[in-house]
Amino acid sequence: SPAMELSPSHFPAARAAAVALGYLRYLRGGPGRGLELRELRRARRQDIDDVGHKYYLELELEDVLDKDRTVNCTAEVLYPLGSKSSAPDVQVALQGELRSTEEADKEFYDHIRSLEKELVAENIPDSHGKVPPELEPIHLLAWVASGYVIWQNSTENTKFHLAQVKHVKQVKRSDEDLQFDYVILLHEMVSQ
Amino acid sequence: LLVDFWINPSAPALPVDVRIPAVSVQSVKAFLESQGIEYSILIEDLQDVLDQEKQDMAESAQRQRSSSSFDFGAYHTLDDINEEVDQLASEYSFVEKIQIGESYEKRPLYVLKFSTGGSNRPAIWLDAGIHSREWVTQASALWIANKIASDYGTDASITSLLDKMDLFLLPVANPDGFVYTHTSNRMWRKTRSKIAGSVCVGVDPNRNWDAGFGGPGASSKPCSDSYHGPSANSEVEVKSVVDFIKNHGNFKAFLTLHSYSQLLMYPYGYKCTRPDDYAELESLGRAAASSIRSLYGTTFQVGTICKTIYQASGGSIDWSYDNGIKYSFAFELRDTGRYGFLLPANQIIPTAKETWLGLKRIMEHVRDKSS
């Protein structure tokens, strides 16, 4: 059946956009890049027999560290029919370049490597919404991880947001990679 | 000599206290010594003492809480909020604190009544914090209370509003939950009532109203964050408001604050059909959203609960609407998910300011329709 236009301001479209954003954060986010949805410009839904429901989205994204400009993106989110245990299939195409994070990533890497003890932190943001500036990269890294979790666990009837990083602990490694264990709180939008 | 007895002479061997003017001190001392009368100096310089006392009182008066010293741009504890509620009630003659009931854990439910006279005038209801983790709502409610109180008499709109109608404002609709968000779990949403047969605590107070109770969008599982409770109005926090509004009998508007998502919604949530007053509510909602946007560009989506988010039964504005209160709106304040419930404190006042513009737009309409 043909795709039907959805109101981008209503939740059915916003749910699909949240999945696309989670996927994008997982793909392209990092300690030096936090992708946020500036606006959902257009949304359509197509019911594909024996396959599932497919959403066609036009998104306007911003990097919270580079707020003066935005990047457009198209996304397709397919929720497979009947399957509660299968992650939605997401395809994205960015129309433009995101600001390079090479410098920020290196800064983060060097900083963590320079610490005497493994990094440990909790409640990011805190109860009052504050994130200490030195923890912002760790916070944005949590967006990457939570993006993956949100993408993997979303259905057509869920809308997940990252509510808070409850705890983060750096894992000691013998090689030169950095590893962090996060406990994150996800909020599923039952709020009203 | 102009001595001033503070304890008068009564009988021999009983002491007297006397104040001596500075000029006479030497001669009085000389007289007492010459007569062999023992004396001790209780206060060396009385004026000093009086001066100090005056200064202390002046400093205390300056320190004394006035609403202008309450930091509306910060998050506060329940005790602090209650103190400010008291402060507003004492500072303004037309503002009164009333208690409409008690929470499950026996905390008072305080409502600020704004009334410039009349007898049971048509009234507007405004509540915040029914879901305790939505901290920007209690904070905004306090700013709004202060705004209305302090601008009455100078702001034409507020003045004409309160000259015709009463306003009842419940800044902390769920005090037990609110305390819990401070002491134990910042993300707590529900009440703190014990549920028979369950280890889990609390009922979602916005699924507990008698409007499609127990229907879609509410959970029957006690451990769920949207647990509707054993029965409609089982939560004393909800029942207290229901009883108060029913007993008053003259409410024209019911407005409730939530966060987050930036939405301005009207009934219904428990069913997906449009209310009879759809056209008027949609139009008024859009006007209010426009007012909100005029300040900082913050966009609110407008619509019925069911269309805008999802079907959800047992909600407060559905109950109020079905009970004859036409102007029933639920606001979801900032933001859209970046910080969610953990909205930075520096956004409290901007949020309160823009929200107030939306509320004011609705209240003006209600005022015009109720006179």
Task: DSSP letter for A192, please.
Answer: -
Averaged pLDDT, B156-178? 98
Out of B258, B301, B340, the one facing A161 most closely (by C-beta) is B340
Assess whether pLDDT exceeds 60 at residue A22.
yes
To 5 degrees, how large is the angle CA B132–CA A167–CA A175? 165
Average pLDDT for residues B173-200, to the nearest whole number?
A: 97
Half-sphere exposure of B150 (CA within 13 A, CB side): 11
For residue B287, the SS3 value is: helix
Domains in chain A: how many in total? Answer: 1
Q: Do B344 and A128 touch (CB under 8 A)?
A: yes
CB contact under 8 A, B344 and A191: no
- 3-class SS at B249? coil
B341: amino acid identity, one letter: F
Contact A147, A24 (CB under 8 A): yes
pLDDT at B59: 62
Query: Strands across the sheet with B108-114, in order?
Result: B95-102, B108-114, B166-170, B123-128, B251-259, B327-333, B263-266, B301-304
Mean pLDDT (chain B) is 94
Cβ-contact A171, A180 below 8 angstroms: yes
Half-sphere exposure of A153 (CA within 13 A, CB side): 13
Nearest CA in chain B to A187: B340
**What is the ipTM for the molecules in this complex?**
0.92
Of B84, B237, B332, B364, the active-site residue reads B332
What value does the mean pLDDT take over residues B220-235? Answer: 97
Work out the number of other CB atoms within 10 angstroms of the CB of residue B117.
9
Q: How confident is the model at residue A129 (pLDDT cuts 50, 70, 90)?
A: very high
Q: Assess whether pLDDT exceeds 80 at residue B257.
A: yes
Select from A11, A185, A192 the Cβ nearest to the Cβ of B269: A192
Judging by beta carbons within 10 Å of its beta carbon (0-12, 13-18, 19+), is residue B306 exposed, middle or buried? buried
- Give the whole-angstrom CA distance, residue A170 versus residue B283: 53
Average pLDDT for A149-176: 96
pTM for the model: 0.86
d(CA B114, CA B132): 24
pLDDT at A40 over 70: yes
Give the range of the structural domain holding residue A45, as residue numbers without chain letter: 4-188
The total number of residues written for chain B in this structure: 371
pLDDT tens for each residue of A71-113: 999 999 999 997 667 999 999 999 999 999 999 999 999 999 9
At residue A192 the predicted structure's pLDDT band, cuts being 50, 70 and 90, is: very low
B354 touches chain A (CB under 8 A): no
- Report residue B64's pLDDT band, with 50, 70 and 90 as the boundaries: low
State the distance between the two ends of chain B, measured CA to CA, in whole angstroms: 74
CB < 8 Å to A125, chain B: 339, 342, 344
Give the chain B residue whose CA is nearest to the CA of A143.
B338
Q: What count of other Cβ atoms lies within 10 Å of the Cβ of residue B211? A: 24
Amino acid at B129: G
**Which of B130, B340, B189 has the alpha carbon at shortest distance from A159?**
B340
pLDDT at B167: 98
Most distant CA pair in chain B: distance in Å?
A: 104
Kindly report the CATH number assigned to the domain that includes residue A103: 3.10.450.10
pLDDT of A191 strictly over 60? no
What pLDDT was estimated at residue B46?
Answer: 82
Q: What is the pLDDT of residue B18?
A: 87
Check: CB of residue B138 under 8 Å from CB of residue B112.
no
Q: Is B312 on the interface with A (CB under 8 A)?
A: yes
pLDDT at B371 over 50: yes
Instruction: Give the pLDDT score at B47.
Output: 82
Q: Do the beta carbons of residue B84 and residue B67 sit within 8 Å? A: yes
B65 has a pLDDT exceeding 90: no
| pLDDT score, position B176 | 98
Judged against a pLDDT cut of 50, whether residue B194 lies above it is answered with yes
Task: Say yes or no to pLDDT of A187 above 80.
Answer: yes
Mean pLDDT of B258-275: 97
Q: Which residues contact B241 (CB under 8 A, 6 or more apart)?
A: B100, B101, B109, B125, B127, B170, B173, B316
Greatest alpha-carbon pair distance for chain A in Å reads 60
> What is the pLDDT at residue B72?
97
How far is it, in rounded angstroms, from Cα B304 to Cα B286?
12
Q: Which domains does chain B have, with CATH numbers?
A: 4-35 (no CATH), 46-370 (3.40.630.10)
Q: Is B267 on the interface with A (CB under 8 A)?
A: no
Q: Give percent above pLDDT 70 in chain B.
A: 97
Residue A150: half-sphere exposure toward Cβ, Cα within 13 Å:
31
**Helix, strand, coil shares of chain A as percentages rounded to 5?**
25, 40, 30
pLDDT tens digit string along B85-98? 999 999 999 999 99
SS3 A114: helix
Q: What contacts B33, CB < 8 A, 6 or more positions away?
A: none
Rg for chain B (alpha carbons), in Å? 29
Contacts of A37 in chain B (CB under 8 A): 336
Active site residue B91: no
> Per DSSP, what are the bridge partners of residue B112?
B97, B169
Q: What is the pLDDT of residues B334-353, one digit of tens each?
A: 999 999 999 999 999 999 99
CA-to-CA distance for B336 and A123, rounded, in angstroms? Answer: 20
DSSP one-letter code for B219: B
Whether B256 has a pLDDT exceeding 90, the answer reads yes
Q: Answer whether B309's CB lies under 8 Å from A157's CB.
A: no
- pLDDT(B45) > 90: no
Structure tokens at B10: 């009564």
Looking at residue B49, its pLDDT comes to: 80
Q: Using CA coordinates, name the residue in chain A closest to B338.
A: A36
Q: Can you tell me whether residue B314 is helix, strand or coil?
A: coil
Tokens of B369: 């329709």
- Would the pLDDT of A183 be above 70? yes
The mean pLDDT of A23-39, rounded to a whole number, is 97
The strand order across the sheet containing A89-95 reads A4-6, A35-48, A52-63, A66-80, A89-95
Interface touch B309/A36, C-beta < 8 Å: no
Are B331 and B263 in contact by the 8 Å Cβ rule? The answer is: yes
The 10 Å Cβ neighbour count of residue A128 is 15
Distances (CA, A) of B187 to A21, A127, A169, B276: 23, 9, 21, 36
